[in-house]
Amino acid sequence: MKISWGVRIAAVYIFFTIALLAAVFVFMNQDVHLVTDDYYAKEIAFQQQIDKINRTKSLSEQLEIKPANGFVDFSFPRLFKSNEINGKIHFYRPSDDSKDFFTDVKVDSINSLEVATAGKEKGLWKVKVDWNAKGNSYYNEKIIMIN
pLDDT in tens, 37-67: 777 888 888 999 999 999 999 999 999 999 9
Radius of gyration of the CA atoms of the chain, in A: 28
Please give the single-letter amino acid code of residue 28.
M
Q: Mapping DSSP to helix (H, G, I), strand (E, B) and coil, where does residue 32 land?
A: coil
Q: How much is the pLDDT for 43? A: 87
Rounded-to-integer distance, Cα 30 and Cα 28, Å? 6
Q: How much is the pLDDT for 35? A: 63
Rounded-to-integer distance, Cα 52 and Cα 66, Å? 21
Question: pTM of this prediction?
Answer: 0.71
Q: How much is the pLDDT for 30? A: 85
Residues of the chain with pLDDT under 70: 33-36
Rounded-to-integer distance, Cα 100 and Cα 90, Å? 7
Per-domain boundaries in the chain: 61-146
Largest separation between any pair of C-alpha atoms in the chain: 99
* CATH, domain range 61-146: 2.60.40.10
